Chains A and B, each alone.
Chain A
Amino acid sequence: MSEEKTYGLIASFATPGEVMHAAENVRDKGFKHWDVITPFPVHGMNEAMGLKRSKVPVFTLLGGATGFFGGMLMIWYMNAYDYPIAVGGKPMFSPMYAFPVSYELTILLAAFGAIIGMFLLNRLPMHYHPAMKHDAVDRASNDRFYIVIESSDPKFEEKTTTALLNEIGGSEVTRIDD
């Protein structure tokens, strides 16, 4: 067992309030590679963990812009360049009639951008996570709250981190193997 690398330390908390204050403590200690596991979304946890706003909107914007300009370009290419046909006395190309299609493509690709961005940033799909090894973690989807600090964090040091987790009110502090 001792040859196995340590993934990190997990500590259990009884209430959302306790885990929130504990998270603030961990944040203030300067840890970067750590996470909070809760059975439901806890409002204010983003601030307590010091998380920045998600980068997903950037992907959404890129997707949307691709859709809009791609749509315009496609219609210009088809109707005005590759095979020009005059319809109803209208110009060969006008942003007017190209707009509805470009608009729909904007929405479609913005939605794709958002979903793909979310998957990429969350590193999904993830079929295995070391925290699942911990027996009690089942309760994280029921009635317990957990903080996991990963050993990859530069500040991680098994003894002091264990002490920290105990000090901030965590119980059953356990090592998780990778």
Chain B
Amino acid sequence: MSNGKSADTAAPAHGGVSAEIWKFRALIVGVAGLAVTLIGLFAADPVRVGLGTLIALVFWLSIGLGMWFLIMLFHLFDAGWGTVIRRPMEHATTIFPWIGIVFFVLVVYSLFADTDQGLWKWMNPDNTVVIAGETATVDDDLLYHHKSPYLNNAFFILRSLLYFGIFIGVATVLRRASFSQDRDGNGGWTTVCRKWSAAGIILAALSVTFASLDWLMTLEFHWFSTIFGVWFFSASMRAALAATVLVCLLLVYLGVFQGVFKRSHLYELGRLSLAFTVFWAYIAFSQYFLIWNANIPEVTYWYVNREHELWWWVGLALLFGHFFVPFIYLLFYKNKVQPGRMIFICVWILAFHLLDLYFNILPTKQAESGLPYYNFGVNLWDVAAFVGIGGICFWAFMQSYLGQKAIPVRDPRILESLNHHE
């Protein structure tokens, strides 16, 4: 059993001194990036910096959420092949509390911001809204008053706390159970994980859907789309699969996953990426198509605004770059099994996922004409927030990674996963 042997050698010692250094560097980069972002929030246009931070935050969070879904899917379907891949995803779910802290800084900032300086305009009754081409305050907005039983500051904060409570709670239980199994080899932990996943997948579906509605869709609270939560889920799954491929191939490169993460695992991840590429396109198109077909001004303006200035080209870039290119590319067998080719398309997908978030989040602030206030663009504050939150995520990942075995060595399905075959 050559595979079993390589798992044993890969399991105990990984990382070492250089990994500790990288963890420390990640923390420094993370704190520095967030400090620069915080300066930007007060020194530059706060709404632009805040939206840029929200984009970066949602980018990293979506990767963690997608992996969280995948972990639960593996447990629920008693999947054999994915057992070795599960461990890095479990480490990645440690990012939730840190993302939560950054998120609540944005919420607190928006609650106390001056008029028209917060992210969620409905939070302050004095903020300006554009209604049918005329400006008014939130307090004068009849639509807001109808939505206010749900969309008010106290309930928003309560819900956000609940979402993060679910993300952190369920992910922590699953992670701890998996780590405990490494130590005592008790097969019962697998059953524990399965039971928690059964409840967790429902909680995850609800919390991720409502979180995306609350945090992203209400940025422009006049607009509504019932498929928005599914769009966010599909986007998260694509980002998570792409990130999983990159992390696993990095671990192969470092020698930790050498002989553990094989061509057949890469092929499965590539196939899932193809499936979710089609799923994302199906959802994104459905949203556009239903709004286009119904042709009701209440909702069409959201897309009309996104035909303004550079946003038109961003929309087309998403259509071709986020769907057609990965779709055609991933249809080919060789592109799914050669590491170099998979790295290319995974970086590509992550880049367009980020662009997708810009497309959804940045044009939400409206000028007096009702058109987007901000044209598409990336500034240094965006980069600082992206690198800063990324650094914190990397640090959190390393924090968990360094204390544990590289793969779930005593999982009942580990041998099946190591011997996985196309």
Give the B-binding residues of A (Cβ under 8 A): 43-44, 53, 57, 61, 88-90, 96-97, 99-100
Closest residue on chain A to residue B288 by CB atoms = A96
Evaluate contact between B293 and A97: CB separation under 8 angstroms.
yes
Given contact pairs A61-B331, A88-B295, A89-B295, A99 touches B285 in the complex (Cβ within 8 A): yes
Q: Is B333 an interface residue (CB 8 A)?
A: yes
**Pairs A-B, 10 closest by C-beta atoms:** A43-B421, A96-B292, A96-B289, A53-B333, A97-B293, A88-B295, A99-B285, A99-B289, A44-B421, A89-B295
Other than the given A57-B331, A99-B289, 9 more pairs (CB < 8 A) read A43-B421, A57-B333, A88-B293, A90-B293, A90-B295, A96-B292, A97-B289, A97-B293, A100-B289
**Alpha-carbon distance between A131 and B288 when the two chains are bound, in angstroms:** 57
Fill in one digit per residue for B259-289: 1 if any A CB lies within 8 Å of its CB, else 0. 0000000000000000000000000010011
Q: Which residues of A lie under 8 Å from residue B292 when comparing CB positions?
A: 96
**Alpha-carbon distance between A97 and B292 when the two chains are bound, in angstroms:** 9
From residue B268, how far is it (CB to closest CB) to chain A in Å? 14
Measured as residues with beta carbon below 8 angstroms from the partner, the interface class of chain B is: 10 to 19
Q: Which residues of A lie under 8 Å from residue B422 when comparing CB positions?
A: 43
**Alpha-carbon distance between A90 and B292 when the two chains are bound, in angstroms:** 9
21 A-B residue pairs with CB within 8 Å? A43-B421, A43-B422, A44-B421, A53-B333, A57-B331, A57-B333, A61-B331, A88-B293, A88-B295, A89-B295, A90-B293, A90-B295, A96-B288, A96-B289, A96-B292, A96-B293, A97-B289, A97-B293, A99-B285, A99-B289, A100-B289
From residue A25, how far is it (CB to closest CB) to chain B in Å? 22
**Alpha-carbon distance between A88 and B293 when the two chains are bound, in angstroms:** 8
In chain B, residues 274-330, which have Cβ atoms closer than 8 Å to a Cβ of chain A? 285, 288-289, 292-293, 295
Closest residue on chain B to residue A43 by CB atoms = B421
Q: Which residues of A lie under 8 Å from residue B285 when comparing CB positions?
A: 99
**Alpha-carbon distance between A96 and B295 when the two chains are bound, in angstroms:** 13
Q: Which residues of B lie under 8 Å from residue A43 when comparing CB positions?
A: 421-422
**Alpha-carbon distance between A97 and B294 when the two chains are bound, in angstroms:** 11
Closest residue on chain B to residue A97 by CB atoms = B293
Q: Which residues of B lie under 8 Å from residue A88 when comparing CB positions?
A: 293, 295
From residue B397, how far is it (CB to closest CB) to chain A in Å? 34
Q: Which residues of A lie under 8 Å from residue B331 when comparing CB positions?
A: 57, 61
**Alpha-carbon distance between A11 and B420 when the two chains are bound, in angstroms:** 30
